[in-house]
Structure 1
Amino acid sequence: MLRSDETGGTRQRRAPILLVLTLTAIGLVGSLLLVWSTIASERAERAQVERTNEIMIALRDIDRAAINAEAGQRGYFITLDKRYLATYEFGRALYPRSMDKVKAEVEAAGMLPRQKELLSLIEQRADTKFDELAKTVAMIDRGEIRDAQQRILSDEGRIAMERLRNSLSEMEALEQGILASATQEASAAEDRVLPLLSITLLLTLGSLGLGLWSTVRATHAEAQAAQAAELAEARDRADLLAHELNHRVKNLFAVILAIVRMSARDKPEAKPVVDSISARIHALLDAHEATQGKGTDGTARMRVLVDKVLAPYSDEGNKFEVSGPDVELTPREATPLGLVLHELATNAVKYGAWSNVGGIIAIDWTYEGAGDDRALQIRWRETSPSPQAPTDRQGFGSMLMQSSARQLSGKIDRKFDDQGMTVDIRFPHTTAGTIA
């Protein structure tokens, strides 16, 4: 049986781990909710684009119907040829169909008070215009040419047409405003993704750091309080805790990946967003797994991290060169650096050296300075036969790299020339050294 002080010590050692795991789980759930909100906003925006397009077409059909009907009326008056009435009848038939379509689309989206007023005005003014045209055509049919001429030359038809067009223009402007609001909401949802992913990253790093601290503390305490056999048992328990923490963190990554993919399983329009988010979560997982290597203190080898990033693309025949001393990275360094390298590799496949035949990537790293001023300098060099010119757009990938640079307390510089792109990554590196 365990003594009461041993039981209490075990509980104290488990408490920080459980606390950080809880915080990490909260962060991951928050990320899921935000991802879901972003997908929903983008779906709403696409639906609004389609709805606005249908409404705009129907509004313009109403205007076209009035113009055709008026043209047919004028042609019939001038020539007395009833063949011109075909255009007139086409306009009269097009108007009610277009009006019904506008009503249906607006009501399906939830009608605003001003939209309801405008629909009533459009219908009233269109009816007035078509009634004026019908009366003139009836006069011509009865042979009342002079009366028909006076009616045509009066301002009644012109005023009715101007009023109808004013109402149609206002309705179009209102729909454009609704579409702009939906677009702005979708953009704001996308802007919220990066901060929450950064918070999740920090929580994950915190859980790894506290887990490592708790494990070392438990091992040290039991080494002072027990004999050799008890010390071995204590180390076994510490290893078990570390493996349990690692297993739970990996399970959390797997759960969030599964939920993200399931959320978009029946929504093919959300696949690009889901694939992008899944790729970045995979990069976090790869960086986490790289910290579970040989280092007993949770450090990761630089070469292992680079190999994990390049592994998915090496089978595709992409050329690359890697060189540099054997360097250990702390978990705090490995995760953001893994995200940056993943982003660069993905961009190389899409736009850079690996998007063209004959492109090559060279990665090398070295130390600069000494003592407290020592820094790790990493260079990513892409050479391509036909490099693409950079754009001024700052996307999610650029913001992610800037955020990672801040977490590393360093800087990331990108330069483009006629042969390709060079990325220099530099950050302080004094806690871990080269491996003998």
Structure 2
Amino acid sequence: MALETEQQIFARKRLGWRRTAPGMASLALFGLVALSLLAATFLIFSTVRAERAERVQVAQTREVLEALREITTATLNAETGQRGYIITLDRRYLAPFQLGAASYPTAMRRLHALLDPAADARQRALVARVEKLADAKFAEMAETVSLVDDGRIVDAEARLLSDEGQQLMTELRATAGELEAIEAGQLRRAASDTLRLEGRMAPLLAGLLLLILGALVLGLWQVVRGARAEALAATAQDLSAARDRADLLAGELNHRVKNLFAVVLAIVKMSGKGDPAAKPAIDKIAQRLHALLRSHEVTQGDRTRPEIDLRELVDTALEPYRLDESRGRIEGDPVMLRSHLAVPLGLVLHELVTNAVKYGALANGDGKLAVSWRHEGGRVRLIWREEGAKPVAPSGDEGFGSMLIGSSAKQIAGTIERHFHPTGVEVTMDFPVK
């Protein structure tokens, strides 16, 4: 009798582990999705920060270039007036000289105010060099004008022909040009950093979509594991409890994924609050996340809805990529599907969309996608056709995506066939509506 009791205890422990394992896997995937969403949030913040830094650098570069132009313009105006006065002795030429001499100090102070707080050693040296050359040039011009005023015209002309002023002006232009080149280089680096961060956004969002697909697959796996656990139950009560637990785990996973989306959406919207310039980027990111959330909700299947529109299922799978009419065409008869078909069909559509984004028609700007279906005799025939992309030939080994499609075909009691052609791929699905 004691031996029988020990066997029963061992069986109960084994059954308990089988029931607990799916929950542990769910928590592991939940942690992975959470980390990915946190990474996405960090990248969003980094992108917004880089765009803000680029805007600041653009304004800084523009103002520095304007200050340098004001300095060189003031010097040229003064030189024009100086030479005209020496040659013609007409005091009207002193007006541009005096204007340049008056505007130069203001432009120099502006250049110091712009660059001194954050300038590196080379920039500070160049600013000091510009100031030294400009001061020397204005001193040389003021001296020649003073010589003319004193009647020493020959001395003034000799000083003018000494090439001292020309050499100062040449060095001033070269120094200002080097300073402009440094500012332009900083602007290019800021723009490059922004483009690099923006380039990471699309792959990360695609990765999030794949993780959500993994969550759906795990939910399906949990249901299968739950069914096996139910088979070990000794009584009808144990069987019912195991089924309820599997449903609870799947529902909890969906609930947590939705909560994570809600948190990330709130963080994204808060990150752009008070920054009107960042609002377009924030709105675009929020729209993508909303589309991913709606895709998750529809393809997971809603138990409160006995039927789901096939058009809604297809539109939701493609919504994150917002294809225009020139690249995407979706058409078909009105078809209402039983809700239990939404999950396997949604998984297949997500697998096709993922492959199209990675390798097919959606991987470049020239590809085209057409999805059409017909409803005849209680069955639906759906054709997914991609054009304008190099097809990926099937390998000898069956990958996870192929296994997923094959498993989904069995669940919908239909067939799914793929045909590769020179410009893309065509997938044909045939399944009963009820």
Does the pair score TM above 0.5? yes
Provide, for residues 209-259 of structure 1, a one-character-per-residue CA deviation record: whole Å limited to 9, x for no partner. Answer: 112211321133123314223322322222121111111111111111111
1:230 to 238, 247, 250: 238
State the partner residue of 2:136. 128
State the partner residue of 1:119. 127
Shift of residue 302 of structure 1? Answer: 3.3
Q: Secondary structure at the match of 1:266?
A: coil
Please tell me the residue identity of whatever aligns with 1:263. Answer: S
* 1:158 to 2:166 alignment: yes
2:181 to 173, 186, 192: 173
Please tell me the residue identity of whatever aligns with 1:76. Answer: Y
CA distance in structure 2 between the partners assigned to 1:23 and 1:310 by the alignment: 24
* 1:48 to 2:57 alignment: yes
Shift of residue 158 of structure 1? Answer: 0.7
Unaligned 5+ residue runs, structure 1? 312-319, 342-361, 368-374, 382-397, 414-423
CA distance in structure 2 between the partners assigned to 1:247 and 1:287 by the alignment: 14
- Check 1:198–1:412 CA distance in 2 against 1; reply closer, same or farther (3 A cut): farther
Shift of residue 48 of structure 1? Answer: 0.9
Provide, for residues 304-340 of structure 1, a one-character-per-residue CA deviation record: whole Å limited to 9, x for no partner. Answer: 32465899xxxxxxxx984148575544334466799
Provide, for residues 374-418 of structure 1, a one-character-per-residue CA deviation record: whole Å limited to 9, x for no partner. Answer: x9524799xxxxxxxxxxxxxxxx9xxx9xxx99788999xxxxx
State the partner residue of 1:377. 383
- Check 1:273–1:336 CA distance in 2 against 1; reply closer, same or farther (3 A cut): farther
Identity over the aligned pairs, expressed in percent?
43
State the partner residue of 1:60. 69
Cα RMSD of the aligned pairs, angstroms, is: 3.9
Shift of residue 9 of structure 1? Answer: 4.2
- Check 1:56–1:87 CA distance in 2 against 1; reply closer, same or farther (3 A cut): same
CA distance in structure 2 between the partners assigned to 1:429 and 1:37 by the alignment: 43
State the partner residue of 2:28. 19
* 1:239 to 2:237 alignment: no
- Check 1:288–1:321 CA distance in 2 against 1; reply closer, same or farther (3 A cut): closer
- Check 1:321–1:159 CA distance in 2 against 1; reply closer, same or farther (3 A cut): closer
State the partner residue of 1:417. none
Please tell me the residue identity of whatever aligns with 2:49. Answer: A
State the partner residue of 2:300. 292
State the partner residue of 1:248. 256
Q: Secondary structure at the match of 2:151?
A: coil
- Check 1:37–1:270 CA distance in 2 against 1; reply closer, same or farther (3 A cut): same
CA distance in structure 1 between the partners assigned to 2:283 and 2:240 by the alignment: 45
* The structure with more radius of gyration: 2
Contact 1:364 1:380 in 2 (8 A): no
Equivalent residues in 2 for 1:193-232 (5 A)? 193-232=201-240
CA distance in structure 1 between the partners assigned to 2:424 and 2:209 by the alignment: 20
State the partner residue of 1:76. 85
- Check 1:258–1:336 CA distance in 2 against 1; reply closer, same or farther (3 A cut): farther
1:102 to 95, 111, 121: 111
Shift of residue 106 of structure 1? Answer: 1.8
Shift of residue 180 of structure 1? Answer: 1.0
TM-score where L is the length of structure 2: 0.74
Please tell me the residue identity of whatever aligns with 1:233. Answer: A
Shift of residue 42 of structure 1? Answer: 1.4
State the partner residue of 1:332. 347
TM-score where L is the length of structure 1: 0.74
CA distance in structure 2 between the partners assigned to 1:140 and 1:119 by the alignment: 32
Please tell me the residue identity of whatever aligns with 2:151. Answer: G
Unaligned 5+ residue runs, structure 2? 1-8, 320-328, 357-369, 376-380, 393-398, 403-417
Contact 2:133 2:171 in 1 (8 A): yes
- Check 1:167–1:411 CA distance in 2 against 1; reply closer, same or farther (3 A cut): farther
- Check 1:434–1:243 CA distance in 2 against 1; reply closer, same or farther (3 A cut): same
Shift of residue 303 of structure 1? Answer: 2.2
Provide, for residues 276-315 of structure 1, a one-character-per-residue CA deviation record: whole Å limited to 9, x for no partner. Answer: 211211121111111232689xx9863232465899xxxx
CA distance in structure 1 between the partners assigned to 2:289 and 2:74 by the alignment: 54
Q: Secondary structure at the match of 1:433?
A: strand
Contact 1:408 1:427 in 2 (8 A): no
